[in-house]
A and B are shown apart, each in its own frame.
Chain A
Amino acid sequence: MTHPHDIPNQPRRLLGKRIPLVDAKRKATGQAVYTDDIRLPGTLVGKILRSPHPHAKILSIDTGKAEALPGVHAVLTGREAPARFGVLPVSQDETALAVDKVRFIGDNVAAVAAEDEATALEALGLIEVEYEPLRAFLDMEQSLEPVPEELRLHTKTVGGTNIHKEVSQEFGEVDRAFEEAAWKKTRDFRFIGVTHAFTEPMCTLAWFDADDRLTIWSATQVPHYLHRALSKVLEMPMHRIRVVRPCVGGGFGGKSDPFPHEMVAALLSRKCRRPVKILFDREEVFYSNHGRHPSKIRFGLAVGKDGTIRALDIDALIDGGAWGSFGVVTTYYNGVLANGPYRVDNFRYHGRRVYTNKPPCGAMRGHGAVNTRFAYEVLLDEAAHDLGLDPAEFRLRNALPPNTKTVNEFRITTSGIRECIERAVEASEWKRKKGNLPFGEGIGIAGGFYISGSALPIHWDDIPQSTVHLKVDLDGGVTIHSMAAEIGQGSDTMLAQIVAEVLGLDIGFCRVRTHDTDTAPIDLGSYSSRVTFMAGNAARQAAENLRARLLRAAADLTGYPVEVFVLREGEAVNVTRPEIRVPYLEAVRRAMKECGALQATGSYRSPPMGGKFKGAAAGLSPTYSFQAFVAQLKVDLETGKPRVLDVWAAHDCGRALNPLAVEGQIEGSVHMGLGQVLSEAFLYNGGNVLNPNLCDYRTLSPTETPRIHPILVETNDPEGPFGAKECGEGPLLPVLPAVANALYDAIGVRFYELPITADRVFRALERQRKRRAVKDLAAR
């Protein structure tokens, strides 16, 4: 079968095939090297002293005793490196260590580097800090009040409060649409925080060596942002800093900011000129957080008589914790990403993100879109129910078509929402089951919509968002240099697949080097689901440039015009006379004659797009993914425990370059989404994290995870590399509301607060039983 993105005359070898990840064997044998597996001679243990107060002034820090302890090589306080950093240029509000005040329990106060862990811990105990506690802001509402300057968490806030960011947008005529609507409802939803819970704790190893250069190995999703932040905080030019990304044990957004502990390790190493490693224990991972923002969302939905969505009116209050992080983006995303996958003509959004004295929140898989999506899809379900419409049919009626613009000027190229709904409905036998399952069993549907990378980079400059360099030397192996971070999502494999495909080679010819800023060109890293689309396009372009050189060489060697050659199966073949062929290695040698080792470059930059209004850039993406999921579950009527049995997960990934990897992303997303809807909760008592461990913070285990049926919908995006778009985050979105809607189908109760744990369901069932009993009594 030919395919719109096929290379002419070149058989498809790798794309669309189930290719094991290029690092799969290393990972299965324990040979993959993560940051904590690296051993450098003379490495010291770095430890951070953490704040016992949620909000307090630091009056003094006395490090004398700690410094005098034998085995201690360096002690660091915030005043030694006061330069501010942060992932977004607009929120530079973090420092390596607290300077004047601490902002949450667990905040970084001072640090030591010592011969071993016991000495480092003892030294921390010898540091004397004098605090003056301040009023702590632990609830979002408290942060809305205007307060004197010393009670503000940061200098830049909205109108003298602790509001970090406030945004408003309106398109169309929302009030009128609500007035005229046949059905409308506004509901309040509450979401508790959740966190990434990756298995590898944060770890960083810094070495300021005799050449006066810093090398830092760190578990990071975005080496480039780390590189920038280090340069700023250490006040050193970037070329004297080398960032190395070893294998990363999961990120999901939680390793995408530059972190204080990374600055601290580097600063400690600069002080004592020894390698310093900081490995977090699990509790510290929770203090570091950067997980999904807790939020309160008021969601208004208006629907017309004809069953079309007429208007959305959204108000989101989100809890940012102590720092800015990605929060400005999060504030926008909580609203603007509701402009798909359904057509909406009237849209209003008001969003506020507040600072509170809790560990910071940031980007987490499905960044900014998850909680609003839950509210939206639950309300859609209510509307369908009240209007007597089938919820799947109702969504189909409102599906966003391809090649259109949303009211806030998102450019929609391909849209697979229709096919996603149809295929999830079919695979799940929706029509047979919906409304026909016995009490306690239910089925629910929900849709989703997500970006494939942000069209506007967070640093507004002109350089490409992704660049890929290729190098081929005499051995014929193709080295792929890129800074797109492999974090388990399979991006190294994606790059190798694309390059090998274009060059007509086996994937084994490719060597992927995506871990070292000394050798790799800049890529904006692994977040916002951008890598396949952006780095994939750059890789394709680089490989095409290399291919042109090889074809030229084949033409020179044979005397035929270059146009007649293609690369296939390790040869340059003349398609008009297939017996004329030049082995790949010969073409390489010929092409090398002029210049030595071959090099080729490709890059990607999003085309211009979007409106001119304030905040127009938020949520813009070169393309969007779409999804529709059906969930089926059974409630234990004795205990209230909901047990999800099946999830049919239809996702429009543009084109599955590697179905094995796409399925893996969908399955992982479903698992993480189920955790948020059923069990995960970041709990506080005052400013104290109550459950900073993987026993009390409950992710789902193998026995609790249902059957997941990934359904790959391929819309062949015209601008995606070989048609591909994202698959790493969008598939999380529909899971939560699909489960809540299935619960309604099962027991007739709606839930507006997460997680929907057994005790909540049990109490709902109790109330229901009582109501029924009263009714029965009255009827008698």
Chain B
Amino acid sequence: MTRTRILRLKINGHEREVAAEPNAILLDVLREGLGLTGTKRGCDMGTCGCCNVLLDGRPVNSCLVLAWDCEDREITTIEGLLPEDPGALHPLQEAWAETGGSQCGFCSPGFIVTAEALLREDPEPTETRVREALSGNLCRCTGYKKIVEAVLKAARSGRGVEVGS
């Protein structure tokens, strides 16, 4: 299509170029265009949070964001949380694995990037704050208890790793 444009996106600290139509949705561009399949598609309408990514450090439903609006902005996906150090995990990912934050795991990437945004803003959140910050994400497996525990545990473990850029 003639209106397709090459977008320059800054994803997980790297510049990436991708062709996108004006109505292209960020989630589609990430998953289909760039092969970043860690970000999940649960509803396509902003209700589940499985597709959450960070846009300039704030969590957004990537299924509701136009890719064209993301130029010159920092996008962080679940893949971008992995520390440089090969084999190491981000404290949230570590805590998630240890406390049983994932069962089927389909919601995990969305929860984890959302929790990351919270911990960047408030490194020592209360349980209530954690639940509020995660209230746009749905999990059908865990009853949220171990998810909340994982966030609190990651917060306690201190956040050694800077990510995203």
Contact = CB atoms under 8 A, between A and B. Distances in A.
Interface of A: 20-21, 23-34, 36-37, 39, 196-201, 247-252, 279, 281-282, 487-490, 660-661, 663-664, 667-672, 693-695, 699, 701-703, 705, 707-708
Contact of A249 (B106, B131, B132): B106
A671 B143 contact: yes
Given A30-B77, A199-B138, A705-B143, A281 B103 contact: no
Contact of B106 (A29, A250, A490, A671): A250
Contact of B140 (A25, A252, A707): A252
A20 B40 contact: no
Nearest to A701: B135
B29 interface: no
A611 B143 CA distance: 39
A283 to B, nearest CB: 9
Given A29-B38, A281-B44, A667 B137 contact: no
B102 A199 contact: no
B80 to A, nearest CB: 10
Given A34-B40, A663-B100, A703-B131, A249 B145 contact: no
A23 B104 CA distance: 10
B141 interface: yes
Interface stretch (B3-11, B107-115, B157-165): B107-115
**Among B40, B41, B130, B145: residue with most chain A CB under 10 A:** B145
Contact of B135 (A30, A487, A664, A702): A702
Contacts of A26: 105
Contacts of B81: 29
A703 B132 contact: yes
Contacts of A664: 100, 103, 141-142, 146
Nearest to B82: A29
Interface string B87-123: 0010011101111111111111100100000000000
B102 A27 contact: yes
Contacts of B108: 27-28, 30
A282 B45 contact: yes
B140 A250 contact: yes
A694 B138 contact: yes
Contacts of A279: 41
B32 to A, nearest CB: 9
For A198, A489, A490, A668, the residue with the greatest tally of chain B CB atoms inside 10 Å of its CB is: A668
A36 B41 CA distance: 9
A667 B109 CA distance: 20
A282 to B, nearest CB: 4
B78 A30 contact: yes
B148 A29 contact: no
Contacts of B148: 702
Contact of B43 (A25, A33, A693, A708): A693
Interface residues of B, number: 55
Contacts of B96: 24, 27-28
The 3 nearest A-B residue pairs measured at CB? A30-B38, A488-B104, A27-B105
Given A23-B105, A488-B103, A694-B45, 14 more contacts: A31-B38, A37-B37, A198-B140, A199-B48, A248-B104, A667-B142, A667-B144, A667-B145, A670-B143, A693-B43, A694-B48, A695-B47, A703-B131, A703-B135
Given A664-B146, A671-B143, A200 B42 contact: yes
A699 B100 CA distance: 21
A246 to B, nearest CB: 11
B155 interface: no
Q: Which of B37, B39, B44, B135 has the most CB of A within 10 A?
A: B37
B60 interface: no
Given A30-B38, A281-B44, A668 B143 contact: yes
A740 to B, nearest CB: 19
B86 interface: no
A670 B143 CA distance: 7
A485 to B, nearest CB: 11
23 contacts: A21-B97, A24-B96, A24-B97, A27-B96, A28-B92, A28-B108, A29-B89, A30-B37, A30-B78, A30-B109, A198-B106, A249-B42, A490-B103, A661-B100, A663-B145, A663-B146, A664-B100, A670-B143, A693-B43, A693-B45, A694-B47, A705-B145, A708-B143
B145 A199 contact: no
Contacts of B99: 660
Given A28-B102, A488-B105, A693-B47, A250 B141 contact: yes
Contact of A699 (B41, B79, B82, B140): B140
Contacts of B146: 663-664, 667
Contacts of B132: 702-703
B139 interface: yes
Contacts of A32: 105
Contacts of B100: 20-21, 24, 660-661, 663-664
B55 to A, nearest CB: 17
Q: Counting chain B CB atoms within 10 Å of each CB, which of A200, A671, A707 scores highest?
A: A200
B100 to A, nearest CB: 5
B54 interface: no
A487 B104 contact: yes
A412 B79 CA distance: 49
A200 B78 contact: no
A668 B101 contact: no
B143 A247 contact: no
Given A281-B44, A664-B146, A28 B89 contact: yes
A117 to B, nearest CB: 9
A699 B145 contact: no
B105 A247 contact: yes
A34 B100 CA distance: 19
A730 B135 CA distance: 27
A36 B32 CA distance: 10
A24 B101 CA distance: 8
B138 to A, nearest CB: 6
Contacts of B139: 199, 702
A24 B47 CA distance: 25
Contacts of B77: 30
A200 B142 contact: no
A638 B74 CA distance: 45
A30 B107 CA distance: 10
A707 B146 CA distance: 11
Nearest to A200: B106
Nearest to B28: A117
A427 to B, nearest CB: 16
Identify which of A29, A32, A200 gathers the most chain B CB atoms within 10 Å of its CB: A29
B134 interface: yes
A702 B147 contact: yes
Contacts of B94: 28
A637 B43 CA distance: 35
A708 B142 CA distance: 11
B50 interface: yes
Interface centre among B39, B43, B50, B134 (most CB of A within 10 A): B43
Contacts of A663: 100, 145-146
A695 B101 contact: no
Given A249-B40, A668-B103, A695-B47, A702 B140 contact: no
Nearest to B147: A702
A250 B40 CA distance: 13
